[in-house]
């Protein structure tokens, strides 16, 4: 595994995970996930990457009809509550004009249900079903729905590759930040299409791009962004590249598609005030000191000491008067033929 290397060393000796950009325009394969680089050592204790990365064997996984090896998506409950619960139906505003009262809608990968509940209000008295594989998130969702007094919503544990519903069960579907965590997003979309009625519609929100707009930047912050990309590649078995949403929808059998994009953060709009950047840093620290940090150490991507250096850099960035953070978010809509 490529390591960050001794972060206290001079700049020219720091590998720092991002020595080559994860989104190089000159060589797309530099996005390869962990294990895709051969290592060589020219000085004791310092791992260097080979000039040419090995091709990733699952580069075409996103267009596969069957799920490849996929590690379960794991997230800290604290992070889920801090970030996912801040998301609202505004995330689905691009889909809202295509929804109407009385529709039955499925929200795939609903998490703690904050978006699901707003969708339920749009289609009421129609039913909304939120599915997720994490029972803890669904428990939060049910509590949230009761607190909001929304009764036309239900939450179930389910696998998006094998939805427990008959063909043509729903008028609409929604998936926010789901496909990017799947080994076979095409297979998932085909399964979602199966449960949609003729004329049904799906709305997708996708954050698969690893590009980040963060200012000020330094090597430690770049290392943090690279760790997040490595985690996704580790879980999905495919490079952490932006998904081609319209291509996937068409491949899944949707008759008509459209797509758009904007800048967001994981929790909502771009972080451009001191309060927002401080909160963004706090949310990152939850992941660094939780599931992602533990994975990074276990896989040899970073040492605990290096993670603490990254933590200090995140805290300092969050307090910087000029700090800014945003990342691309893409949306797409697909329609089933009548």
Q: Taking 90 as the threshold, does the pLDDT of residue 119 lie above it? A: yes
Q: Taking 70 as the threshold, does the pLDDT of residue 68 lie above it? A: no
Q: Taking 50 as the threshold, does the pLDDT of residue 30 lie above it? A: no
Residue 168 and residue 69 share a domain: yes
The pLDDT value recorded for residue 23 is: 26
183, part of any domain = yes
2, part of any domain = no
The pLDDT value recorded for residue 136 is: 86
Q: Taking 80 as the threshold, does the pLDDT of residue 332 lie above it? A: yes
75, part of any domain = yes
Residue 152 and residue 103 share a domain: yes
Residue 196 and residue 136 share a domain: yes
3-class SS at 156?
strand
The pLDDT value recorded for residue 161 is: 96
Given pLDDT bands bounded at 50, 70 and 90, which one contains residue 89? confident
- How far apart are the two ends of the chain, measured CA to CA in Å? 50
Long-range CB pairs of 283-286 (<8 Å, 24+ gap) are 283/79, 283/82, 283/83, 284/224, 284/314, 285/311, 285/314, 285/315, 286/76, 286/78, 286/79, 286/82
Q: Taking 70 as the threshold, does the pLDDT of residue 200 lie above it? A: yes
187, part of any domain = yes
5, part of any domain = no
Q: Taking 80 as the threshold, does the pLDDT of residue 160 lie above it? A: yes
Residue 289 and residue 160 share a domain: no
Residue 130 and residue 74 share a domain: yes
The pLDDT value recorded for residue 74 is: 75
Residue 191 and residue 96 share a domain: yes
Using CA atoms, how far apart are residues 296 and 302, in angstroms rounded to an integer?
Answer: 6
Residue 313 and residue 173 share a domain: no
Range of the domain at 248: 63-208+243-267+327-335
CB count within 10 Å of CB 98 equals 14
In the chain, the number of structural domains is 2
Residue 180 and residue 255 share a domain: yes
Using CA atoms, how far apart are residues 46 and 24, in angstroms rounded to an integer?
Answer: 23
Given pLDDT bands bounded at 50, 70 and 90, which one contains residue 13? very low
Structure tokens at 15: 């590998």
Q: Work out the average pLDDT over 296-323.
A: 97
The pLDDT value recorded for residue 173 is: 98
Q: Work out the average pLDDT over 18-39.
A: 31
Given pLDDT bands bounded at 50, 70 and 90, which one contains residue 65? low
The predicted-structure confidence for 287-306, as pLDDT tens digits, reads as follows 999 999 999 999 999 999 99
The pLDDT value recorded for residue 241 is: 84
Residue 293 and residue 227 share a domain: yes
The pTM for the full model equals 0.78
Residue 171 and residue 82 share a domain: yes
159, part of any domain = yes
Whole-number percent of the chain with pLDDT over 70: 78
**Average pLDDT score over the chain:** 81
Residue 203 and residue 99 share a domain: yes
151, part of any domain = yes
Q: Report the range of poorest mean pLDDT among 13-27, 214-228, 278-292, 308-322.
A: 13-27
Structure tokens at 253: 């059998």
The pLDDT value recorded for residue 239 is: 83
CATH assignment at residue 152 = 3.40.50.150
CB count within 10 Å of CB 249 equals 24
Residue 331 and residue 186 share a domain: yes
């Amino acid at each position: 595994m490529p390591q960050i290397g001794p972060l206290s060393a001079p700049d020219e000796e720091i590998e720092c995970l991002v020595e080559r950009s994860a989104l190089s325009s000159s060589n797309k394969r530099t996005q390869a996930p962990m294990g895709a680089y051969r290592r060589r050592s020219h000085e004791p204790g310092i791992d260097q990457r080979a000039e040419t990365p090995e091709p990733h064997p699952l580069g075409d996984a996103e267009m596969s009809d069957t799920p490849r090896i996929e590690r379960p998506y794991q997230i800290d409950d604290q992070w889920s509550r801090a970030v996912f619960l801040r998301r609202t139906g505004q995330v689905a505003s691009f889909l809202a004009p295509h929804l109407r009262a009385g529709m039955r809608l499925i929200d795939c990968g609903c998490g703690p249900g904050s978006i699901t509940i707003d969708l339920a209000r749009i289609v009421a008295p129609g039913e909304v079903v939120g599915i997720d594989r994490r029972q803890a998130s669904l428990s939060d969702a049910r509590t949230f729905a009761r607190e909001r007094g929304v009764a036309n919503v239900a939450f179930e544990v389910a696998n998006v590759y094998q939805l427990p519903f008959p063909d043509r069960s729903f008028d609409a579907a929604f998936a926010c930040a789901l496909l990017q965590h799947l080994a076979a997003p095409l297979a998932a979309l085909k399964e979602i299409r199966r449960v949609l009625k003729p004329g049904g519609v799906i709305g997708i929100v996708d954050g698969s791009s690893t590009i980040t707009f963060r200012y000020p930047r330094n090597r430690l912050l770049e290392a943090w962004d690279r760790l997040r990309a490595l985690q996704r590649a580790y879980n999905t078995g495919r490079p952490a590249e932006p998904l081609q949403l319209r291509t996937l929808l068409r491949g899944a059998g949707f008759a008509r598609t459209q797509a758009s994009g904007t800048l967001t953060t994981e929790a909502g709009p771009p972080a451009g005030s001191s309060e927002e950047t401080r909160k963004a840093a706090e949310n990152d620290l939850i992941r660094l000191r939780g599931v992602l940090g533990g994975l990074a150490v276990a896989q040899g991507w970073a040492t605990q000491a290096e993670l603490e250096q990254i933590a200090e850099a995140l805290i300092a960035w969050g307090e910087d008067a000029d700090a800014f953070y945003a990342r691309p978010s893409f949306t797409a809509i697909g329609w089933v033929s009548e």
